[in-house]
Structure 1
Amino acid sequence: MLRLAAIVPRLDLPVPVSLFIIYSVCLTPVLFLLYNELAGRRTRSRQPRGCRKLGLKSFSNLADEHQYSTNGVKSRSKDGTEGEKKIKVKALISYPIKSCAGVEFNFADGTNTGLMYDRQFAFAEYIETTAKNDDGKKAVAGRWDCRTLRDGKFSKMALIRPEIWVPDPSSPTYSPKAPEVRSKGVLVINFPRTGTGLFTKLGMKLNLCSREESFQVPLFPPDGEYSSIPMRIFSDTPNAYNYSTHIPSSLGAFLGSTKPLSLFRFDPEHPRPVRGNAPTEADLGFKPTMGFPDEYPLQMQNLASIRSMAEKVKYAIPKFTVRRFRPNIVLEGLEAYDEDDWKKMRIVPGPESRVMPSSSSDDKKGVDILVACRTVRCRLPNVDPDTGERHQVEPDKTLKAMRNIDAGADKSGCLGMMLVPVSQKFTIHVGDEVEVLERGEHFYIKE
């Protein structure tokens, strides 16, 4: 410091300016080290003990979706030739919390309710109601109602980002007694900070504090620790585990909710039945059930159909993504809307499948899947998954005008297909090939 001060006269600068330069030179390395330390602590504090995170971490299989054409292949490959025309699994996505961001996988195990971890959680508001007692007096009652992106004021749910963490015995913090291990993992839930002060905003810009808030809940509730109570979702009122004690007040502020808010976890003892066009127990050998999807365990989208729709709505939505439709399975290699008359399909391991170790099935013959019906679209795809903003008209307007193709759908637009696997345990990989086993007519039945 003294040696630096000795050069001040030579610089012919005012003393305050010179001191500012000196302190800047001296303090910059210290601030840099502090920055790295605080950022590192923030990252480590978000990692559940003894666990590892599932899903793709640094890339997406849908990153090149805008390069595809309506014939289901990329417009041009790297060597300038057109891509191969073979139906394949392009992407696999689970949505741990209904209407919130998805988690993408290279392979996914299937269960009797669809893809593992898919729609196992849902947010709900407590709605007070009044009813008359036997003596004729009014009494205040209430119920928990599921909330989704269909609700206009809940469009920001698209920005809630869940992470799936499962126990990892190789982790240095692993312990069988740890709460994170006893619950077979945790769901970390991230959402944007709101209403922050000046210093917090500065810290966010410097990456000294996170741009998101987060909290975590048990992936599977330990026995007896949470109550299983009724929650209404559409026409069903299944019992589900109430995680209200974990919800921070800032989440309600972010969503704009003025009522009590809770997160419910699907209770396997109280599954929802699959109705409508679903195959029967006699057809499958088991009764098809689900957690918190709308109507069926799985939803499929054809990337070519999405590109066709993108051409029609590009005046309003220039970057139109398949993620607006929240599919579990995205296919490539078939013509636009070819899937409309599929009745049965088979997914088999392909030579380019991104095969990874799996716990559920070693069957090399693949899995047969019944195509129950077309996916009847509501206004949910109007919400941009990257911004949480709802477009006033598209793609709902174009879907109703151009995809009113199912006499049972009450003049609604259809895009995609609803699926019911014929097996309660299966595995699907990105790159698996798809065989169409049966085609036929569809008539949507809503129950």
Structure 2
Amino acid sequence: MLIDLIRGPLSRLTLHAVVHRISTLLILLVTFLVIARVARHVLVARQRPRNLRRYGLSRSNLEDQYDPKYDKAEHDSASESMVIKALYVHPIKSCAPIEVKRALLTKIGFAYDRCFAIAVENDEKHWQFISQRTKPRMALIKQELWLPHKTSDPGDPLVQAGGCLVASFPDPDAPVWTKRLQAVFESWSLSGMPEVRFTVPLLPTAAQIDELGIKLRDFQIHSRTASGLDLECIPDVAAALPKLKRFLKVPERQTLTLLRCTPDTLVPTNKNLAPLKYIGTPAMHGYTDQQPVHIINLPSVHATSPLLPKENQPLSALRFRANMYIFGAPAYDEETWKRFRILPKAATTERRAPVAPALSVVCRTSRCTMPNVNPDTGHFEEENAPPEKKKGKPQPSTTLVEYRTVENGNPAALGYLGMHCVPEDSGFKQAMDQGADLYVEVGDEIEVLETGHHLYGSTGNDY
């Protein structure tokens, strides 16, 4: 009987009526999609800083990083050109990186790299930076750089500050339905979740510092004392810090803040020093752990990956948080380099000094626990646990200790992968003489100038 009841009305529908109803549904669906897309555009546009242009790539040059074409075994001949595959900066130390096509090389490394740090006040009323070593969810704090352009309004405070950094992270609080709907529109995905966003001037001007009452604060980066502008009094930062504290699971008793290094708070590097006859003046840095520039050779990552347990393969090069990723050299060949220069080979229409900057390579990068953090999930990773244990060994650090402890210069090292470098002054002088900035671009080539032996800590701690 039920079938007859349904079949009756359907049988009376004419072809014209069916087409009409389907057309109406399609029109309603298209209208909804158009409204949703417009709403998304409006929401996203509202979040964009006015008078600034976003700096960075939307599609990664490392999306094919696992391709076997980047395999090049140790001791293979370096017959092909060595090329810069990708460039990254990490404005807030230990947060998600920003990939760029070209990067301005300065005395302290690439512009905007590790110029901010997050710190907590410990029980002794001293401030200490935090990183993924103890707060792995920092990997999920996304960053955007927005910079002025030729038509920017010079009266805009963010233009006066040289641009801004926009940081975002998942909202740790249970979302209300309006925030959830907004997240769906912004991400154009039904799985979109609410985020907390805050905007920070790249370098507040003297007038902005006075107006906001920004003060300098000392804090510790490992064993050294650093200093920077305490930005907690910037309204957007102040509003986000309580949620950031909950997101990172910082104890309630501790205070959290964001700090910014300035030209006056830069310090000389104090270990693994490059020869002054090459670099000209002592190496300086802001909030990097040790040296201004960090490089990773993709074939070295490829050679290390098969050494890991199967469940931890393939090994992502992004776990090593380098500035410059290169290919074309045999695996681990970079560990013999003492000096190299970057040949400006990339095809570009943007202005840059036609200069081949040289860098001194000072030491291997001694690894810590941070490569164990999956940058996509913000979780520490392990190998599968054996039946008699509850947890597996941390990876890739366990493998790096076993196979990549290739020297004994740093007893605390969890293996070695990557190299630390210092830009040489000669390139900056040549660029200044030509009245242009010294940029490095994806596609530029590497030319090794000098090779030799490296031992961490063997070059002294003072110039």
TM-score band, normalised by the shorter chain? 0.7 to 0.9
C-alpha contact 1:229 1:240 (8 A) present in aligned 2: yes
Determine helix, strand or coil for the equivalent of 1:41.
Answer: helix
Residues 45-89 of structure 1: CA deviation (Å, up to 9, x unaligned): 1110100000112x111111100356449xxxxxxxxx9822111
CA shift, 1:9, in A, is: 7.0
Question: Counterpart amino acid of 2:246?
Answer: A
Match of 2:195 among 209, 212, 228: 212
Q: Given the alignment of the two structures, is residue 236 of structure 1 paired with residue 248 of structure 2, yes or no?
A: no
Residues 133-188 of structure 1: CA deviation (Å, up to 9, x unaligned): xxxxxxxxx2221111111xx10101111111011243xxx422111111110101
CA shift, 1:21, in A, is: 10
Determine helix, strand or coil for the equivalent of 1:184.
Answer: coil
- 2:366 is matched with 376
- Alpha-carbon distance in 1 for matches of 2:288, 2:150: 32
C-alpha contact 1:69 1:304 (8 A) present in aligned 2: no
Question: Counterpart amino acid of 1:427?
Answer: Y
C-alpha contact 1:98 1:293 (8 A) present in aligned 2: yes
CA shift, 1:277, in A, is: 1.3
Determine helix, strand or coil for the equivalent of 2:206.
Answer: coil
Determine helix, strand or coil for the equivalent of 1:443.
Answer: coil
* Worse overlay, 158-167 or 25-34: 25-34
Q: Given the alignment of the two structures, is residue 402 of structure 1 paired with residue 403 of structure 2, yes or no?
A: yes
- 2:381 is matched with 391
Question: Counterpart amino acid of 1:419?
Answer: C
Match of 1:267 among 262, 265, 270: 262
Determine what percentage of the aligned residue pairs are the same residue.
31
- 1:39 is matched with 40
Question: Counterpart amino acid of 2:203?
Answer: F
- Alpha-carbon distance in 2 for matches of 1:175, 1:329: 33
CA shift, 1:376, in A, is: 0.4
C-alpha contact 2:162 2:202 (8 A) present in aligned 1: yes
Any stretches of 5+ residues in structure 2 without a counterpart? 1-7, 14-20, 383-393, 429-437
- 1:436 is matched with 448
Question: Counterpart amino acid of 1:233?
Answer: I
CA shift, 1:196, in A, is: 2.8
- Alpha-carbon distance in 2 for matches of 1:30, 1:10: 27
CA shift, 1:402, in A, is: 0.6
Question: Counterpart amino acid of 2:142?
Answer: R
C-alpha contact 1:107 1:356 (8 A) present in aligned 2: no
- Alpha-carbon distance in 2 for matches of 1:101, 1:316: 24
- Alpha-carbon distance in 2 for matches of 1:402, 1:124: 34
- Alpha-carbon distance in 1 for matches of 2:80, 2:278: 33
Residues 324-358 of structure 1: CA deviation (Å, up to 9, x unaligned): 000111110011111111111111122xx143524
Any stretches of 5+ residues in structure 1 without a counterpart? 1-7, 14-19, 74-82, 130-141
C-alpha contact 1:68 1:304 (8 A) present in aligned 2: no
How many residues in Structure 1 have an aligned counterpart in Structure 2?
403
- Alpha-carbon distance in 1 for matches of 2:181, 2:32: 14
C-alpha contact 2:297 2:325 (8 A) present in aligned 1: yes
Mapping 1:40-439, distance limit 5 Å: 40-57=41-58, 59-69=59-69, 71-72=71-72, 85-129=80-124, 142-151=125-134, 154-170=135-151, 174-197=152-175, 199=177, 200-205=179-184, 207=186, 211-224=194-207, 225=209, 226-245=214-233, 246-247=237-238, 248=240, 249-258=242-251, 259-281=254-276, 283-350=278-345, 353-358=346-351, 362-364=353-355, 366-392=356-382, 393-410=394-411, 412=413, 413-423=415-425, 425=428, 426-439=438-451
Higher helix share: 2
- Alpha-carbon distance in 1 for matches of 2:27, 2:63: 44
* Worse overlay, 158-167 or 417-426: 417-426
- Alpha-carbon distance in 1 for matches of 2:39, 2:126: 43
- 2:435 is matched with none
Question: Counterpart amino acid of 1:436?
Answer: V
- 1:76 is matched with none
Determine helix, strand or coil for the equivalent of 2:144.
Answer: strand
CA shift, 1:312, in A, is: 1.4
- Alpha-carbon distance in 1 for matches of 2:108, 2:349: 22
TM-score, normalized by length of structure 2?
0.80
RMSD: 2.8
C-alpha contact 1:113 1:288 (8 A) present in aligned 2: yes
C-alpha contact 2:70 2:327 (8 A) present in aligned 1: no
